[in-house]
Chains A and B, each alone.
Chain A
């Protein structure tokens, strides 16, 4: 790996918030080493308290999305009565009532499903786009690389929220869960692409790739069997954290009025409705914000722990 490549890789990793150790010259990556990397990483991960906190929060969030009724203690989010409008939390109804007099805990809990679907869907699209474009770009180099890198630069120059805002406002995707996920992915794939591209360029020049080529392996086989598995670690870290970032972005877009719309249940909608009553019923902003933050935190913590575990420089 040349100095320039190394500098590029380091820059990409800093931007993506991940490290692999590939950017430090002494680490030699071979497939044998990679195997021990994962078992080492798991050993490291098991001892990390922050990872377990993140995992528990993540599991809670997952269960909330799958079985909201269990968490809402049987209350129906659409069972509303204006006589209970904006009532404060009580021992009966832990989160109180919203302005329409609906049980707020039921509403907040039911918001998890849309967040989860959008987070996972958007991250899946980002991974597919990022891995395909990044691998093609890094592997073939030359004109293809220049072209794809410029396209990524163009998207990179536009902030995620702004880009998604304009796409969703233009309305050709509609305003549903899928539309929001695609809009987020359209302006969020570049970091994954750069990460994969750098890794591919870094690994491409290694001896075992040359050996595979000497044995007559095709481009496709080299990419799939030898190069991509080595790029998995940083992308995995990035993807974990990004789920959290995307869930926050969905709430933000919905809050700004271009994401999900009623009658969909979303934390962004709840925060938006609650902020108008911030003075008289602060719990309406507090609870969706709290659950949203804990959800984002779950993914950030798991991603952070994963990065520490996968970074060979941390171990000594």
Chain B
């Protein structure tokens, strides 16, 4: 196990560097001159432009720029945006919003998804099972963009139940965007649980449990669920890493000042340092939670052995 984790950790290094370099190179290719854009209507003095270009290493070739960036990164310096604000500042200000959104979304998808999936799975082909099947197909098919507007329009604008945008009302303002963000995963969790439960209900050990006279509740909760939920737990775990990467669309529509919004704004404003810094962070989250989930898999399911 220890060796497996060590090997996986080593394998993440090229991925982390590769992904950040990929983004770095693409940001480097962004058209236009960000320094000139900074001046707006009044062009900056040539000396100032030259100094700024020097300061942000814009005169070096791509490889050197990236190496200098990595050197700073190793010292815990993520650089600054063109207005002199440290990227770390931006991240520490935006991250709490995204973390809250992620917590709400994960809770929604796990609780509702698992309950719906279990109820559908233990009674396959029942009315409820078909409701779950059809509604998950529907939810999967609605693009998040469309769902965000439907939710905002009906529950925010028409019914006035939830705030339309912003984070003024604390956790409550995260409920509606959380639902929108969770919808796709929720449907997937419900289906995964349903398939897994239905498969395990036919397993030999469940028949054995019934044969020795255990009550239905014990059979379902102690035997079926414990085994069925392993893939679900791992999916939800990995989803944390994905959601922490920020939800560009959800955060844009509901005007939440999180990581997703920050990265979208940064791409538009050609703030290379901000884009690369945040992307590196989200890739790290993604890799980290996937690793945790893989290890968790072995802990939860003793049949799996990593050598």
- Chain A residues close to B by CB (< 8 Å): 7, 14, 17, 50, 150-151, 153-155, 157-159, 161-162, 165-167, 169-172, 244, 248, 251-252, 255-257, 268, 271, 275, 278-279, 282, 285, 289, 292-294, 296-297, 300-301, 304, 313
Contact = CB atoms under 8 A, between A and B. Distances in A.
A227 to B, nearest CB: 26
A252 B146 CA distance: 9
Contacts of A171: 29-31
A161 B248 contact: yes
A244 B150 contact: no
Candidate in A150, A159, A275, A285 with the most chain B CB atoms within 10 angstroms: A159
A169 B268 contact: yes
A158 B23 contact: yes
A50 B263 CA distance: 39
B31 A170 contact: yes
Main secondary structure of the interface of B (DSSP, over half): helix
A297 B268 CA distance: 31
B26 A14 contact: no
**How large, as a class, is the contact surface on chain B?**
35 or more
Contacts of B144: 248, 252
12 contacts: A150-B14, A150-B15, A154-B19, A155-B19, A158-B22, A248-B145, A271-B149, A285-B153, A289-B146, A289-B150, A296-B141, A300-B141
B233 interface: no
Interface stretch (B77-85, B97-105, B174-182, B279-287): B279-287
Given A278-B157, A296-B142, 13 more contacts: A14-B235, A157-B283, A157-B287, A159-B242, A161-B249, A162-B245, A165-B264, A166-B23, A166-B27, A248-B144, A252-B249, A289-B149, A300-B141
Main secondary structure of the interface of A (DSSP, over half): helix
Contacts of A170: 26-27, 29-31
B77 to A, nearest CB: 23
Nearest to A290: B146
B88 interface: no
Contacts of A279: 157
Contacts of B22: 154-155, 158
Nearest to B31: A171
B137 A165 contact: no
B43 to A, nearest CB: 23
Contact of A154 (B18, B134, B140, B253): B18
Contacts of A150: 11, 14-15, 18
A103 to B, nearest CB: 22
